[in-house]
Chain A
């Protein structure tokens, strides 16, 4: 999918972004197939249905959060607080359920609403008070996490305190496809289509590729950025609810460190860190790719200690590939100014 091509009268930059995007999602998919085949040769259980659904269930949580992150990165910002939002939401939802304050649907809705609220908090700091996103969300990363610890006060909510069947729903499937994967795909499709078809989608890319030009064109850049952060919070809220369902036992430090994985998913999926290009499909595939690697290590009985190093290399290779492709495309563009 190439959202950028939906911009009216695509600029040369738009076309580069589009071809880059198409290249990235397809190549990532092919790499995953090849890698999967190689791992499966060594350990056939890798491609068993149970293993694949387990991998995709966990990766779906990261994918949902990565969709929100991608929206923010496309506007040339970043949300580092996303992991604290996931953690806080996961704990609040579990706590509400354990104390029997509300029923399951209301608890989930509260969690998603809380995520939206926290995202709006970031949006206000960045869009209204003009605090650089990296500073504002570095601050809220510790503030939101601090709130979790304050609320928890050392407690944790255990699996047995949750309603029957709540956590097993995380592993349920529909026609063999894990529910979480369906949720992630549905969100990616909705957001992907919205980015492609809606005015807001085009404005998002416009703000990210050139904020000054966007505001001269009459786009309310601040409003667009605010909405991007609010949506990132909303998706982090959904991811937080999913996180709580999946793990069952939740304490205040849930999801610590996952922002690395979420940003990595975006970078690997071809969402350029300087904004203006990338797709949510890419971000989702990136999350799946990282999940695959983690699982392959387990299946191949390699040490989990390799995971961090491999993630690092994957991020560096992805961003280097971006740079190489962009440079090559620019060269061809220069040679054929109108081609």
Chain B
């Protein structure tokens, strides 16, 4: 077989910028520097709105906007803490199962006559415990988060099924279900959007304006250097797993409210969408880079795409294909840009003695 042409840097992990570059914008090549990821996402969002308005008269109606936002609320909420987890170089695949476990527990407790506020508190408690379990296995036992959360992906879903079985619990009080699919009076905005905005602002501030945020990037870029510079890596990792799991539990409650029914199989397959939003948002899968703004724009782009495709009666299958393609393209384009950029650089400097890193 012929030698395969290659693009970019080393094979296992991309070259990581040094620690002193923590506060500086990520290193970019000539062409890459011209394209800020968030700008590109914004262009995609604008293009989707333009296409949507062109293909469907109802697209720009406030009601439709409310619908398209409501449809992605749970995955969008879970994508925010997931972004932080990925930025420190870990991953949490168990979020969809934690959402399912939380919904199942809610249904079970409500069915047993426990008052709803107590049941919701219990769900959040389970989220904290599940996150501690994930986090302790990663930090104390030193196990890879990919495998740990693959295990708890199965475990938490299994627990949800054990608790609730194949039943669906409905008959929740209307004020609860209204929070799920109702709108803020006088506006088309769904209530859970408030949860999302609150979380996005809080985590955006934490990540981009505080010392803790800089520590997160430092851990993601070089965990060894972060440790030696006195950052309590283990505690930060543990807190992020707890945050991710707790938010997933809240998303599970919201999901049960939106569907007005609690089932053990709720949120199945959502991790895929959550991770897609995070990566599409420009967060590096190996950690060290990403913004909350990018993740929020990616969630909006995904919501718009789904809505436009639905309004144009494009089948759900095409939707799944386009989400997958979008994910691949979102990594492919910067890679190609870097490659083209390095070609320019090489042409400018003349032939190098040996090929530099991509």
Residues of chain A having any CB pair with chain B under 8 Å: 76, 78, 125, 127-132, 134-136, 138-143, 145-147, 149-150, 207, 211-212, 215, 220-223, 225-227, 260, 263-264, 267, 273-274, 303, 305-313, 315-316, 319-320, 323
Q: When A127-B6, A149-B315 are in contact, do A319 and B332 touch as well, CB less than 8 Å?
A: no
Q: B317 touching A215 by the CB < 8 A rule?
A: no
- Can you name 20 A-B pairs with beta carbons within 8 Å? A76-B12, A125-B332, A128-B6, A131-B332, A134-B146, A135-B285, A135-B331, A136-B328, A141-B324, A149-B316, A150-B318, A223-B4, A306-B162, A309-B159, A312-B154, A312-B158, A319-B144, A319-B147, A319-B151, A323-B142
* Alpha-carbon gap, A161 to B35, bound state (A): 54
Of A221, A263, A306, which is within 8 A of B158 by CB? A306
Stretch at the interface among B69-77, B212-220, B272-280: B272-280
- Whether, in the assembled complex, B176 has its beta carbon less than 8 Å from a beta carbon of chain A, the answer is no
Expressed in whole angstroms, the Cα–Cα distance for A76 and B276 within the complex equals 21
B151 engages A226 (CB within 8 Å): no
Query: What residues of chain B lie closer than 8 Å to A149, measured between beta carbons?
Result: 315-317, 320
A260 with B154: CB separation less than 8 A = yes
Q: Which of B11, B321, B332 contacts A221 (CB 8 A)?
A: B11
A189, B317: Cα distance in complex, Å: 39
How many whole Å from B182's CB to the nearest CB in chain A? 31
The residue in chain A whose Cβ has the minimal distance to the Cβ of B321 is: A146
Contact assessment for B328 and A220 in the assembled complex, using a CB-CB cutoff below 8 Å:
no
B residues at A contact (CB < 8 Å): 1, 3-12, 14, 91, 137, 141-144, 146-148, 150-159, 161-162, 165, 272, 275-276, 279, 285-286, 315-321, 323-325, 327-328, 331-332, 335-336
Give Cα A130 to B327, complex, Å: 14
Instruction: Give chain A residues whose Cβ lies under 8 Å from the Cβ of B276.
Output: 138
In the docked arrangement, what's the CA distance between A326 and B6, Å? 34
Interchain nearest-CB distance for A256 vs B (Å)? 9
Pairwise interchain contact B320-A145, C-beta atoms closer than 8 A? yes
CB of A120, distance to nearest CB on chain B (Å): 11
B154 adjacent to A143 (CB under 8 Å) = no
Q: Considering the chains assembled together, what is the distance between the CA atoms of A312 and B275 in angstroms?
A: 21
Report A-chain residues with C-beta under 8 Å of the C-beta of B152. Answer: 312, 316
Check A128 against B158 for contact (C-beta < 8 Å).
no
Are A135 and B279 closer than 8 Å at their CB atoms?
yes
**In the complex, are the beta carbons of B321 and A311 less than 8 A apart?**
no
**Structural contact, A146 and B4, CB atoms closer than 8 A:** no
The 7 nearest A-B residue pairs measured at CB: A312-B155, A309-B158, A308-B158, A146-B321, A142-B324, A312-B154, A315-B151
Given contacts A138-B275, A306-B158, A306-B162, contact A312 B151 (CB under 8 A): yes
Point out the residues of chain A lying under 8 angstroms from B158, CB to CB. 305-312
Cβ contact within 8 Å between A146 and B272: no
Residue contact B12 to A320, C-beta cutoff 8 Å: no
How far is B208's CA from A165's CA once the two chains are assembled, in angstroms? 64
> Do B154 and A139 touch across chains, with their CB atoms under 8 A apart?
no
Question: Once bound together, how far apart are the Cα atoms of A129 and B150, in whole Å?
Answer: 27
Of B4, B141, B161, B316, the contact of A308 (CB 8 Å cutoff):
B161
A263: shortest Cβ distance to chain B, in Å?
A: 6
What is the bound-complex CA distance between A131 and B331, given in angstroms?
6
- Distance A125 CA – B11 CA, assembled complex (angstroms): 12
> Does the CB pair A138–B272 fall under 8 Å?
yes
Contact A132 B141 (CB under 8 A): no
* Residues on B with beta carbons closer than 8 Å to the beta carbon of A307: 158
Q: What's the Cα separation between A143 and B152 when bound, in Å?
A: 26
How many angstroms from the CA of A274 to the CA of B12 in the assembled complex?
10
For the complex with contacts A142-B320, A260-B150, A320-B137, 15 further pairs of A-B residues with Cβ separation under 8 Å are: A128-B5, A128-B6, A130-B14, A132-B331, A138-B272, A138-B327, A139-B328, A147-B317, A211-B10, A267-B147, A308-B161, A309-B159, A313-B155, A315-B150, A319-B144
Identify which of B142, B318, B319, B328 contacts A131 (C-beta below 8 A).
B328
Which residues of A sit under 8 angstroms from B12, Cβ to Cβ? 76, 211-212
Known: A222-B11, A319-B144, A323-B141. A142 touches B154 (CB 8 A): no
Contacts of B156 in A (CB 8 A): 312
Residues of B within 8 A of A136 (CB): 328, 331
Decide: B4 and A260 in contact? CB cutoff 8 A: no
A143:B321 contact, CB within 8 angstroms: yes
